[in-house]
Amino acid sequence: MKILVINSGSSSIKFRLVDAQTFYPIVNGILECIGTQRSKISCSIYNEKGIHKKHEEFLLINSHGEGVKFLVDYLHNRGFIGVFGDLAAIGHRVVHGGEWFKKSVLITESVIGRIRKTIPLAPIHNPANLIGIDICRDTFPSTPQVAVFDTAFHQSMPAKAYRYPLPESLYSEHRVRRYGFHGTSHQYVANRAAEFLGKPLSQLNLITLHLGNGASATAIQRGRAIDTSMGLTPLEGLMMGTRCGDIDPAIIFYLARVSGLAIDKIETLLNQKSGLFGVCGSNDMREIQQRFKQGDEQAKLAIEIYCYRIKKYIGAYLAILGRLDVLVFTAGVGENSPEVRLQVCQGLEHLGICIVPEKNKAKINSATEIQNDAGAVKIMVIPTDEETEIAQQTQACIQNSQ
């Protein structure tokens, strides 16, 4: 039996077909640039030794709906899935579950209704996720479908962490609160760290740093998230590729007054033209590091702000956790930039965070410790794998519902 994972983003659909018992991939791929002339499918086909074939093809895919239909046909026509039978379940990543969902759930009409009600909180992502769910339910009506929410892992936060110091009515009437995102990634790397260290997650305190184009930090106490850096939306928190992260909210009103920018233009500015891109004109950390090495002052400043802000979150989360067992780096920058990891950890030795530059610099492909033996805190680099986490949660969900 197999599990199909569908992860619909704003302009792409990632998919992975895995063995339902081992979660080993059968096909893994992405449909990108949906709605443009350059739509493309790229996928890797696995055998027991690893990737044995790659396939890439340019297509014309106008919408998410067409994209999901294409993928289902693609997997079916090539014999990876039969129409009936060999799919144990389909797991869908859903970005926002609001306060309804504290864990993954079997998709029913009422679940769909709640995901729909949450659209105002994720106006781009939740509709794309719902299209994927609708098409898969039409195509495979008897196959269980599971929703795995980006927000669910953070639902264990206490009110003092998730409430904003704003009038109570904004929370009770409009659900204005902190939700947090990247939950499947934080949960996956926390589980992997526990597995690697041979300890139950319920005995560990961790800070997980998901540093990709989007970036977030989560404080995990005895296996449960107690705080996270993203808020009502993924704009709050760390400096990101193009998002500003924490800023004084009065900047918005000031900008509206002095520049006359409309509110939607300011929203675009903070989401798409800020962060690393805003400070130095690029959101690609590889390019920024290259420029830094060539003496570019803007690139240097961008990296300094980026690392300084991560360091401040580590300090804050250490304070609320009391004891820190593991600091985890993951996602594009966290997994691949020894320079960022070093700059973030430098100066934290008195807190037990002691990185070993040689271990940090080595090529890392799987969960690896990079701390000094004397350091109280394990520092780990763990490649994230949201699709495996979604497949595992999907399997657990259908087992619990039987």
**Binding residues for ligand AMP, per CB under 6 A?**
212-213, 241, 283-286, 289, 331-333, 336-337
Nearer to ligand AMP, 8 or 283 (CB): 283
Task: Indicate the residue whose CB is closest to ligand AMP.
Answer: 332
Instruction: Give me the least distance between CB of 122 and ligand AMP, in Å please.
Output: 18
* Residues 129/115, Cβ–Cβ less than 8 Å: yes
Look at residues 118, 185, 119 and name the one whose alpha carbon lies nearest to residue 150: 185
Nearer to ligand AMP, 180 or 332 (CB): 332
What is the rounded CA–CA span in Å between residue 31 and residue 43? 9
Nearer to ligand AMP, 140 or 188 (CB): 188
Nearer to ligand AMP, 233 or 372 (CB): 233
What DSSP character marks residue 13? E
Instruction: Give me the least distance between CB of 9 and ligand AMP, in Å please.
Output: 10
Nearer to ligand AMP, 95 or 333 (CB): 333
Instruction: Give me the least distance between CB of 288 and ligand AMP, in Å please.
Output: 8
Torsion of CA 387, 49, 68, 397, to 10 degrees: -40
Instruction: Report the sign of the C-alpha dihedral through residues 389, 200, 156, 163, in that order.
Output: negative
For residue 24, how many other CB atoms are within 10 A of its CB?
A: 11
The residue annotated as part of the active site, out of 138, 150, 227, 385, is 150
Name the one residue in this structure whose structure tokens are 């014309």: 60
Let me know if 150 is a catalytic residue.
Answer: yes
Instruction: Give me the least distance between CB of 169 and ligand AMP, in Å please.
Output: 36
Q: How many CA atoms lie within 13 A of 296 on its CB side?
A: 16
What DSSP character marks residue 353? -
Look at residues 325, 314, 298, 397 and name the one whose alpha carbon lies nearest to residue 94: 397
Instruction: Give me the least distance between CB of 150 and ligand AMP, in Å please.
Output: 14
Q: Which residues are catalytic?
A: 150
